[in-house]
Chain A
Amino acid sequence: KAGVTQTPRYLIKTRGQQVTLSCSPISGHRSVSWYQQTPGQGLQFLFEYFSETQRNKGNFPGRFSGRQFSNSRSEMNVSTLELGDSALYLCASSPVGGGYEQYFGPGTRLTVT
């Protein structure tokens, strides 16, 4: 099976702009989660979608949002970008059943200037 894919892999944006990141989960996985990783804060959970519904949410401002489509693909959006949003954004998918472990994509490196 193909792994989790994320696009784009690298992105440079200017403060105040908005950005959309995309994630395609492993085939058959219905849970898609997003994480932000920065040197200072480590890996932090943003939100999780399951069957097109947000099921869990982390402690991030409303500028961070996401959605999931019927094919389980997911997008996350960050509006009004701030310098502190520069990070590696990771997507993970999880199967229904079994150990419910998560499989991560390679991430999107976002740089805000």
Chain B
Amino acid sequence: DAKTTQPPSMDCAEGRAANLPCNHSTISGNEYVYWYRQIHSQGPQYIIHGLKNNETNEMASLIITEDRKSSTLILPHATLRDTAVYYCIVRVGGYTNAGKSTFGDGTTLTVKP
């Protein structure tokens, strides 16, 4: 799996958009970008994933650059409950790789009132 680089911490004002960057410059053509978050002492929560197109769901948007070497997770209107550690993971798609994710240190996002 490709290595990812994320800033260790970020702050965001409540109600504003939170933009979390992830660098994955060695990503391969068959590797997907997944985002998870972990609120203190809970299990990680799946947020969104993508291959090369931008993706949006009810939780967030994922913007992947055209060269696929970096991506940004966007929480459009951050709330205090979005305070968590956010993990960007890159792994090969397909069912044989579904069960194995390599987690880095992630970004601790703190949403402030």
Contact = CB atoms under 8 A, between A and B. Distances in A.
Interface of A: 4, 31-33, 35, 42-45, 48-50, 55-56, 58, 88, 90, 92, 94-97, 99-107
Given A45-B100, A48-B100, A55-B99, A4 B43 contact: yes
B55 to A, nearest CB: 10
Contact of A105 (B36, B43, B95): B43
Contact of B101 (A50, A55, A102): A102
Contact of A102 (B41, B42, B96, B99): B99
A65 B100 CA distance: 16
Size bracket of the B interface: 20 to 34
6 contacts: A49-B99, A56-B99, A101-B46, A103-B46, A104-B46, A107-B42
Interface of B: 32, 34, 36, 41-46, 49, 87, 93-105
Contact of A42 (B46, B98, B100, B105): B105
Secondary structure of the B contact surface, majority rule: loop
Contacts of B102: 45
A88 to B, nearest CB: 7
B75 to A, nearest CB: 18
A100 B98 contact: yes
B3 to A, nearest CB: 14
- Most A Cβ at <10 Å: residue of B97, B98, B101, B104: B98
Contacts of B45: 104
- Residue picked from A104, A106, A107, most chain B C-beta under 10 Å: A104
